[in-house]
């Protein structure tokens, strides 16, 4: 037994003692292959998964380095069976390789003939392949490159894609670095992506994912298609590119519900790309509108299924996914790996916070109690009505008013899910409300007033969850959410994590109704933030109103 910071368990969980002197070194080494599951105060829990190990292999780590890290930091002897399983799982990656053959085009080649024989017997693989060139090589239909990778991953034999990329149409893109420069982690993220050819960069909200995208464009120097969550985000991308690169307004097009511009750099919304007409996706031909050299997927954890399907057809294009969390509520992390690419860079939230690039955050759960008459109505309600009843109880209004009075000097976002609740709060507080029904023009005007400080409080729906740059927002009050969505919790906290000009921290309140499904969902939503090291304090609503809870 050694005095290491890590306990390696046979169920593939790793327990890291945070206070141990070697904890930071251990965390850095195991993050390459293990996924953080929980990060409360003293012991952080990681899990080793096949996808995590294959991500590590794709990033250039071998089984020897993984085994070495586990043995070096483990306090107790590492279970031998686990070490064997790690080595054998990682060895599965790369036994199948997609390559460009000089005469046959795209081929699947294997260093293990039995594995190739096994996968070719799959009914799902058979339609995607053609002639068997030799015992170790089979022709692959070019259009099946992405779908084949998906199927092979599910069969447990992930293919290493070495077939390369087309350069696309060249277009001069350079960063302007007058008065600013890329942070070290932003440069490392862009270079990690470029070296790998395609993949995902994971950075906290507020850490400058857009700048990583701009840096990747500077490396590609090619026409670029950027897919974003909404029109406000599209215009923020445009403004940032105009500020940070040598691109001009004429070179950047917007492809949204309002405009259909195709230019050397085109920014399109997921919404317009997934709009159906006559049962077909009318705008997916945008992917073929130009010879794109780079495709960027902002908030890749929200990538809609139709875009996944089309992404399978553009595997010859370089693809960059940007996200704060690879958590997908639909469980399609494997599709992100197959179709966008493996994780190329991941910076923990707390690490970026410690460097001063995002604001420190204090997370507080304020618990209210349903009055007797509402509690009885809740008990008698159908299950699908209970969450709305608990989330929108009028008991939350007094808490929001109290918190707002306490933060009169701050820029505050009140965030919720139910429109009637938001409009009632807007009227009660006398502040503007922004929902999906608010025009893009009005949204932008209100956000600009908020940025300038002329408006200090906004009530917003889920339209404010994604890719919204409000640097001086320092307080968020969440009154309701999308059931148990961890990704939404991360995005909402991210709205207030931009570093403040005066160096102050951020405060994230969640108002929750105790003894209801509202509290159950809140616990699930908070899991992601706990994984990132953000612990919630729980206070009672009565103490908040009495001024006893700081």
pLDDT at position 465: 64
Q: What is the pLDDT of residues 370-380, one digit of tens each?
A: 999 999 999 99
Q: In DSSP terms, which residues pair with 47 in a beta bridge? A: 13, 35
Highest mean pLDDT among 98-107, 496-505, 524-533: 98-107
Mean pLDDT on 441-454: 89
Asked if residue 501 is part of any domain, the answer here is yes
Residue 241 scores a pLDDT above 70: yes
- Give residue 254's pLDDT band: very low, low, confident or very high (50, 70, 90): very high
Last residue of a domain, one of 309, 330, 349: 349
> Are 252 and 314 part of one and the same domain?
yes
- Give residue 31's pLDDT band: very low, low, confident or very high (50, 70, 90): confident
- Give residue 6's pLDDT band: very low, low, confident or very high (50, 70, 90): very high
Print the SS3 string covering 414-447.
EECCCHHHHHHHHHHHCCCEECCCCCHHHHHHHH
Q: What is the pLDDT of residues 165-199, one digit of tens each?
A: 999 999 999 999 788 899 999 999 999 999 988 99
pLDDT at position 291: 93
Last residue of a domain, one of 349, 377, 400: 349
Range scoring the smallest mean pLDDT among 11-15, 27-31, 86-90: 27-31
> Are 290 and 314 part of one and the same domain?
yes
Token digits of residue 536: 């919630």
Asked if residue 480 is part of any domain, the answer here is yes
Phi, psi of 212, deg, nearest 5: -65, -40
- Give residue 59's pLDDT band: very low, low, confident or very high (50, 70, 90): confident
Number of structural domains in the chain: 4
CB neighbourhood size of 298 (10 A): 26
Highest mean pLDDT among 34-48, 148-162, 332-346: 148-162
- Give residue 487's pLDDT band: very low, low, confident or very high (50, 70, 90): low
Asked if residue 167 is part of any domain, the answer here is no
> Are 304 and 437 part of one and the same domain?
no
> Are 51 and 122 part of one and the same domain?
no
> Are 214 and 332 part of one and the same domain?
yes
Asked if residue 172 is part of any domain, the answer here is no
Token digits of residue 53: 């190990």
Asked if residue 484 is part of any domain, the answer here is yes
Asked if residue 1 is part of any domain, the answer here is no
> Are 316 and 284 part of one and the same domain?
yes
- Give residue 64's pLDDT band: very low, low, confident or very high (50, 70, 90): very high
| Percentage of the chain modeled with pLDDT above 90 | 57
> Are 75 and 120 part of one and the same domain?
no
Q: Which domain range does residue 474 map to? A: 359-545
Asked if residue 171 is part of any domain, the answer here is no
Do 43 and 18 form a contact (C-beta atoms < 8 A)? yes
Residue 433 scores a pLDDT above 90: yes
Asked if residue 178 is part of any domain, the answer here is no
Range scoring the smallest mean pLDDT among 67-76, 98-107, 283-292: 283-292
Phi, psi of 349, deg, nearest 5: -55, -50
Residue 112 scores a pLDDT above 80: yes
Residue 491 scores a pLDDT above 80: no
Q: What is the pLDDT of residues 375-425, one digit of tens each?
A: 999 999 998 899 999 999 999 999 999 999 999 999 999 999 899 999 999
pLDDT at position 281: 80
What CATH number has the domain bearing residue 284? 3.40.50.300
pLDDT at position 233: 87
Three-state DSSP at 363 gives strand
> Are 18 and 106 part of one and the same domain?
no
Token digits of residue 502: 């005066």
CA distance 138 to 130: 7
> Are 420 and 525 part of one and the same domain?
yes
Last residue of a domain, one of 297, 322, 349: 349
> Are 219 and 116 part of one and the same domain?
no
> Are 157 and 230 part of one and the same domain?
no
Q: Which helix (H) or strand (E) holds 449?
A: helix 440-452
Sign of CA dihedral 40, 487, 484, 10: negative
Residue 484 scores a pLDDT above 60: no
CA distance 377 to 120: 58
Residue 140 scores a pLDDT above 80: yes
Residue 272 scores a pLDDT above 60: yes
Residue 24 scores a pLDDT above 80: yes
Q: What is the pLDDT of residues 287-332, one digit of tens each?
A: 888 999 999 999 888 788 788 777 877 888 999 999 887 766 667 7
pLDDT at position 398: 92
> Are 422 and 512 part of one and the same domain?
yes
């Amino acid at each position: 037994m050694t005095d290491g910071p890590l306990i390696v368990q046979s169920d593939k969980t790793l327990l890291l003692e945070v206070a141990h002197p070697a904890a930071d070194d251990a965390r850095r080494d195991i993050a390459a292959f293990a996924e953080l599951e929980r990060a409360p105060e003293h012991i952080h829990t990681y899990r080793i998964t096949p996808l995590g190990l294959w991500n590590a292999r794709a990033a250039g780590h071998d089984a020897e380095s993984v085994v070495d890290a586990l043995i070096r930091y483990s306090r107790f002897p590492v279970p031998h069976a686990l070490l064997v399983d790690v080595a054998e799982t990682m060895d599965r990656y790369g036994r199948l390789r997609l390559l460009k053959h000089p005469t046959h085009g795209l081929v699947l080649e294997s260093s293990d003939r039995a594995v190739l024989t096994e996968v070719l017997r799959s009914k799902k693989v058979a339609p995607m392949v053609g002639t068997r060139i030799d015992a170790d090589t089979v022709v692959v239909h070019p259009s099946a490159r992405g779908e084949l990778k998906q199927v092979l991953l599910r069969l447990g034999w992930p293919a290493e894609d070495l077939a390369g990329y087309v350069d696309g149409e060249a277009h001069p893109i350079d960063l302007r670095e007058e008065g600013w420069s890329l942070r070290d982690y932003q440069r490392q993220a862009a270079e990690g992506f470029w070296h790998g050819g395609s993949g995902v960069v994971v950075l906290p909200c507020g850490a400058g994912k857009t700048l990583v995208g701009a840096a990747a464009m500077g490396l590609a120097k090619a026409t670029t298609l950027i897919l974003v969550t909404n029109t406000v985000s599209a215009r923020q991308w445009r403004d940032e590119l105009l500020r940070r690169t040598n691109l001009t307004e004429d070179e950047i097009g917007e492809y949204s519900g309002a405009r259909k511009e195709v230019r050397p750099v085109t920014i399109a919304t997921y919404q317009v790309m997934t709009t159906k007409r006559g049962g077909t996706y009318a705008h997916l031909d945008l992917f073929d509108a130009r010879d794109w050299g780079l495709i960027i997927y902002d908030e890749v954890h929200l990538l809609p299924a139709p875009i996944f399907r089309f992404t399978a057809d553009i595997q010859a294009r370089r693809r960059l996914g940007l996200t704060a969390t690879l958590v997908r509520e639909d469980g399609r992390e494997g599709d992100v790996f197959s179709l966008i690419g493996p994780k190329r860079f991941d910076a923990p939230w707390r690490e970026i916070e410690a460097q001063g690039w995002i604001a420190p955050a204090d997370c507080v759960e304020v618990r209210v109690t349903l009055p007797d008459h509402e509690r009885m109505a809740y008990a008698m309600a159908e299950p699908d009505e209970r969450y709305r009843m608990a989330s929108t109880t009028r008991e939350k209004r007094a808490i929001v008013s109290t918190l707002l009075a306490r933060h009169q000097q701050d820029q505050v976002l009140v965030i919720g899910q139910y429109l009637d609740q938001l409009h009632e709060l807007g009227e009660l507080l006398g502040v503007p409300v922004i929902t999906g029904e608010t025009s893009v023009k009005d949204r932008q005007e209100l956000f600009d007033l908020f940025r300038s400080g002329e408006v200090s409080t906004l009530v917003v729906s889920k339209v404010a969850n994604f890719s919204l740059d409000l640097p001086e927002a320092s307080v968020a009050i969440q009154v309701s959410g999308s059931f148990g969505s961890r990704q939404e919790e991360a995005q909402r906290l991210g709205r207030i994590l931009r570093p403040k000009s005066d160096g102050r921290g951020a405060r994230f309140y969640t108002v929750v109704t105790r003894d209801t499904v509202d509290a159950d969902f809140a616990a699930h939503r908070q899991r992601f933030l706990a994984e990132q090291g953000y612990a919630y304090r729980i206070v009672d609503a009565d103490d908040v109103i009495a001024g006893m809870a700081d």
